Amino acid sequence: MKLAKRAEIDAFFAKPSPAVLGALIYGKDRSQVIERATGLARQIVADINDPFNVSVLTDSDIEADPARLEGELQALSMMGGRRLVRLKFFSEKATLDKAVAATLKAHAAGEFNRDAFIVIEAGGLGGDSSLRRLADSDKNLVSIACYEDETGDVVRMARETLSANGVALTSAAMDIFAQRLPKERGIARQEIERLVLFIGPGSHKTLNENELLDFLGVEPEASLFKAAQDAFGGRMKPAQAGLRRAFAEGEGGADAMRALSLHYNKLKLLKSLLQKGMGTKEAARAAGVFWKDENDLLRQAQAWHVDTLDALAADLIEADKLCKSTGMPDALISERLYLQIAGRAARAGL
């Protein structure tokens, strides 16, 4: 049966029904999947690391030995009582999905050890997944989808963690913090815990919005624009670091390509204005260069050759298309181009 409402999910996690023999927890937010699966596992057995009472399998194990899952579900606990089987299933192979679904269906029907509880952690299963359809419909199984956290979920998680550590944020500061948190739950939780350390656990201090900005630093989008500037300036390590920080905070490859293209256009315009005889200050202002970046971009405009910049246009367009194509590793595609540009800039003397 499918559990969708927070209240029913929380109720099940607090006290799993004895009639339920397994749970499928799936979704693109892998950290949330693992967090929920681990929480449920702890409700089934006292020690989730007990090698005699807990079995952990992967999709590779099942593919190598199709009977392995059935054997684990038939096994009895050495000490008596409940036994836990954890299956980390992130395969996209339809044949494997069907095979696991068939074994799970038999277990739900009571054909194996009824004291064995199975928790399956899976990726973003589509509506055509046999495993998902079975868990959604069988009364002896539950399915829980893990979507990206809504703002309300993020605020709730942040408030609970801050309160547990004796610190807090004002309402205005919390609004800012919630908007800045990454979408992926595992990274969001790390940021919340980092904020706790910044405030001071047990200090009973409440941060306002101005104090919070000291912790937040620059916006993720600002990190991308700085990374693009570093790339065209031949600073490979800072470019890569800024890019990865932005990715960790929820930005994607398409966002990175937008920042790179905007810097490229600004640099081309600046170079064109300088070649027409315009003064450096006037050219920088006309190209929309921020005064703090003026010296750096003027150096870039002098070092990059027009032909090299023109040739780069095709690479930018191709990488942007790939980043927007379904199934392509957009972060890796954009990062590769950032590093290639940084390398060309370094060879140009920057």
CATH of the domain at 90: 3.40.50.300
Residuewise pLDDT in 10s, the chain (350 residues): 898 887 888 888 888 888 999 999 998 777 778 888 998 999 999 888 888 889 999 888 888 898 999 999 998 887 777 899 999 988 778 899 999 999 999 999 999 999 999 999 998 888 889 999 999 999 999 999 887 655 567 788 889 899 999 999 998 888 878 777 766 666 677 788 888 988 999 999 999 888 887 777 555 566 788 899 999 999 999 999 889 888 887 788 988 998 899 899 889 999 988 998 888 988 888 887 877 888 999 999 999 999 899 889 889 999 988 988 877 899 999 999 999 999 999 998 88
Instruction: Report which of 110, 94, 106 is spatially closest to residue 59, judged by C-alpha positions.
Output: 94
What tokens does 342 get? 């940084």
Q: Which residues make beta-bridge pairs with 144? A: 3, 25
- Do 59 and 125 meet the contact criterion of CB atoms below 8 Å apart? no
- Count of domains in the chain? 3
Looking at the structure, tell me whether residues 190 and 287 fall in a common domain.
Answer: no
The verdict on 36 and 82 lying in the same domain is: yes
Q: Could you tell me if 303 and 338 lie in one domain?
A: yes
Q: Determine the pLDDT at residue 27.
A: 86
Do residues 243 and 140 share a domain?
Answer: no
CATH number of the domain that residue 266 is part of: 1.20.272.10
Residues 260 and 141 in one domain: no
Same domain, residue pair 15 and 95: yes
Quote the pLDDT of residue 150. Answer: 56
- Could you tell me the pTM of the whole model? 0.50
Do residues 120 and 170 share a domain? no
Residue-level pLDDT at 213? 76
Quick one: 189 and 263 in the same domain? no
Last residue of a domain, one of 185, 216, 247: 216
Q: What's the pLDDT at 112?
A: 92
Owning domain of residue 224: 220-347
Residues 322 and 337 in one domain: yes
